[in-house]
Structures are given as structure tokens and as C-alpha cells.
Structure 1
Amino acid sequence: MRQLVRTAPAALPPVLRTPLAMSAALATAVVLALGILHFHDSGLTGLDAAILPSIDGVQPPWRYVALVFDFGGEPVGSVILVALLAGVCVLARRLRTAVLTVLGVVVTVAVTTVLKPIVGRNIHGEFLSYPSGHTALATALALVVGLLLTDRLSLGRGAAVVLVLGLAVVAGVAMGWAEVALGAHYPTDALGGFCAALATVPATAWLLDRVADRL
């Protein structure tokens, strides 16, 4: 197994190392900035005040769509999605990416879980909300899919960046919309979750490759 992991294709394709390092640095800055802005402050200002009233409390049939997305971020739904993606990676003989599927999600969710009590932002007076763990998880999975496809399709840097970040944005917006529509998060919570995944998944992939190369 050690030999298989060491010789497996990189979890973070070389063409994406620099672009994703730059986006990760920017995403980290956004997470910290929003955390400071909303530190123990649950008031509606700026982006939240502009977007929340038009999305919160969505009615059927869109509410059912939101609930489907939300299920993907719940424990059972997330385990199913992670297992499916990891299985696809194994079948594609991308063992490092399979490991990243699990580690990337675990690290991303851990980061959002730790940040919530530190920032102390509440929604509905009792639920810690910043950053959104559901949005972070969906974005993390999309990033892994993008990394897998980049490697399998041997994409150049430009196409790879567009694919990976495009998938991340689609997944982040979809889950973020669902969480805001269901009243579980503010829009900036979703943005924070998206950026948390954008910061942690590439870093986890890079570290995984470093460790695997030394096995």
C-alpha cells in the first residue's frame, strides 16, 4: 500500500500549485476579515442586509430543492458523498486523491467547527453560524472533483484553473443558497465557508503529496 500511495499521481496537480496557493492565500484573508467583521456581532449589515431578505424563507418547490442540498451537508449525506467520491478515485487509481477526499473534508469541517465559537456569531439567537460548514463541505468536494478531472484529462493551467474554481463556485453557491434559503446561515457565513474550503483543501493536498513522496 505504501508503494501504491508513493507512486500514485499527485493529489495537487503541478499545474495548479501556484494558482491554488494564491487563491488559498486570498481565501484565508477573506475568512479572517469576515470573522473579524462579524466577531460576536449577529446584526444584518452590508451584503447580508442586501441579500438575506430576498432569499430567506423560500417556499416550495424551491424549498424542497434546498432541503436536498442541505442533506448533502448533514452527517449521513456527507458520508455518502465522501464515500462515493473516494470510491471513484480508487477505481480511477488515484489513491492520493481518494485520501484527499476524506482528509480534505475532515480538515475543512474541523476548521469551520473551530472558528464558530471563536467568532461567536449567532443566527436566530442561539445557533453559531460563521462560517457555514455545509457550504465548506460542498466546496471541498467540488475542489477534489476538479483536481481529479484535471489530472485525468491532463489539462493545462488555464483550463485547470477555470475547471477547479468553476466547480467550487457552483457547489459553493448552490449549498450557500440552500443554507440561506432555509434560514440556517447568513450570506456571509456561506462566503466564509466557501473560502475556508478554498484555503484548506489545496493546503491539505500539498501536505499529503509531501508526506506521500517521503514514504
Structure 2
Amino acid sequence: MRQLVRTAPAALPAALRAPLAMSGALATAVLVALGILHFHDSGLTGIDAALLPSIDGVEPPWRYVALVFDFGGEPVGSVILVGLIAAVCFLLHRVRTAVLTVLGVLATVAVTTVLKPIVGRTIHGEFLSYPSGHTALATALALVIGLLLTDRLGRGRAAAVALVLGLALVAGVAMGWAEVGLGAHYPTDALGGFCAALAVVPATAWLVDRVADRL
């Protein structure tokens, strides 16, 4: 198993290290800034006040779509998704990416879980909301899929960055829309979750490669 991990393709391709490090640094800054802005906040302000009236409380049939997305971020749904993606990576002999699937999601969810009581932002008067763990999880999985596809397709650097960040954006927007539409989060909660994944997953991928190279 050690040899399999050591010789497996990198979880974070060399061409993507600098671009994703830059996007991760920017995401970290936004994550922290939003946390400070909404520290112990419980009301609609700024961007949230402008957006929520138009997208909060989606009605059927779109509500059913939102519930499907939301299930993917719940414990059962997330375990199924992580297990499937990790299994596909393993079957494709992308062992490091399979490890990243598990560790990247766990690290991202851990960050959002720790930040919620620290920031102390609430929705509906009692539920901690910043940052959105569902949005972070969806974005994390999309980043992993993007890294896997980049490795498999062998695209140039610009195309690879566009693919990885594009998939992350689509997943983040979709889950963020669902969470806001279901009344579980403010829009900036979703943005915070998106940024958390952008900050954590590339860093975790780099760490996986560092450890694997030393086995």
C-alpha cells in the first residue's frame, strides 16, 4: 500500500499549486473578513438584505430540487458522495486523490464546524449559520473532482485552473442557492462556506502529496 501511495499521481498537480495557493489565500481573507463583519450578527445586513427577499423560501417544484441538494450535505448523503468519489479515484489508481477526497472533506467540515461558534452568527434566532457547512462540502467535492479530471485530461495550466475553479463555483452556487432557498443560511454564509473549501482543499492536497512523497 505504501508503494501504491508513493507512486500514485499527485493529488495537486504541480501546474496548479501556485494558482490554487493564490485563490486559497484570497478565499481565506474573504472568509475571515466576512466572519468579522458578521461577528455575533443575527439580522439581515448589506448583501444579505438585498438578496434574501428575492430568493428566500423557494416554492415547489424548485423546493424539491433544493432538498435534493441539501441531502447531499447531510451526514448520510455526504458519506455516500465521499464514498463514491473516493472509490472511483481508487479504481482509477488515483490513490492520493482518493485520500484527498476523505481528508479534504473532513478538514473542510472541521473548519466550518469550529468557526460557527467562534463567529456566533445565527439565523432564525438560534441556529449557528456562518459559514455554511453544506456549501463548503459541495465545493470541496467539486474541487476534488476537478483535480481528478485535470489529471486525467492533461489540459494546459489555464484550462486546468478554469476547470477546477469553474466546477467549484457551480457546486458552491448550487448548494448555496439551496441552503438560502430553504432558509437555512444567509447568502454570505454560503460565500463563507465556498471560501472555506477553496482555502482548505488545495492545502490538504499539498499536504497529502508531501506525506506520500516521504513514505
> TM over 0.5, yes or no?
yes
- The equivalent residue for 2:37 is 37
Q: Any conservation in 1 of the 2:16–2:160 contact (CA below 8 Å)? A: yes
- The equivalent residue for 1:54 is 54
Structure 1 counterpart of 2:51, one-letter code: I
Structure 2 counterpart of 1:213, one-letter code: D
- The equivalent residue for 2:68 is 68
- Cα distance between partner residues in 1 of 2:119 and 2:15: 35
- The equivalent residue for 1:9 is 9
- Cα distance between partner residues in 2 of 1:95 and 1:63: 37
How many angstroms does 1:133 deviate by?
Answer: 0.1
- Cα distance between partner residues in 2 of 1:46 and 1:122: 16
Can you list the C-alpha shifts for 1:102-151, whole angstroms capped at 9, x where unaligned?
Answer: 00000000000000000000000010000000000000000000000000
Matched, 1:87 2:87: yes
Can you list the C-alpha shifts for 1:177-206, whole angstroms capped at 9, x where unaligned?
Answer: 000000000000000000000000000000
Matched, 1:189 2:189: yes
- Cα distance between partner residues in 2 of 1:52 and 1:155: 39
- The equivalent residue for 1:77 is 77
Q: Secondary structure at the match of 1:209?
A: helix
How many angstroms does 1:158 deviate by?
Answer: 0.3
Ranges in structure 2 where 5+ consecutive residues have no aligned partner:
none
- The equivalent residue for 1:125 is 125
How many angstroms does 1:22 deviate by?
Answer: 0.1
- The equivalent residue for 2:171 is 171
- The equivalent residue for 2:139 is 139
Ranges in structure 1 where 5+ consecutive residues have no aligned partner:
none
Q: Secondary structure at the match of 1:93?
A: coil
Structure 1 length normalisation: TM-score? 0.99
- Cα distance between partner residues in 2 of 1:172 and 1:41: 23
Structure 2 length normalisation: TM-score? 0.99
How many angstroms does 1:68 deviate by?
Answer: 0.1
- Cα distance between partner residues in 2 of 1:72 and 1:18: 30
Identity of aligned residues (%): 87
Q: Secondary structure at the match of 2:88?
A: helix
How many angstroms does 1:155 deviate by?
Answer: 1.3
- Deviates further, 114-123 or 39-48: 39-48
Q: Secondary structure at the match of 2:171?
A: helix
- Deviates further, 41-50 or 196-205: 41-50
- Cα distance between partner residues in 1 of 2:42 and 2:176: 18
- Cα distance between partner residues in 2 of 1:109 and 1:146: 19
Can you list the C-alpha shifts for 1:53-94, whole angstroms capped at 9, x where unaligned?
Answer: 111111000000000000000000000000000011011110
Stretches of 4+ moved more than 3 A in 1? none
Count of residues paired in the alignment: 215
- Cα distance between partner residues in 1 of 2:190 and 2:203: 20
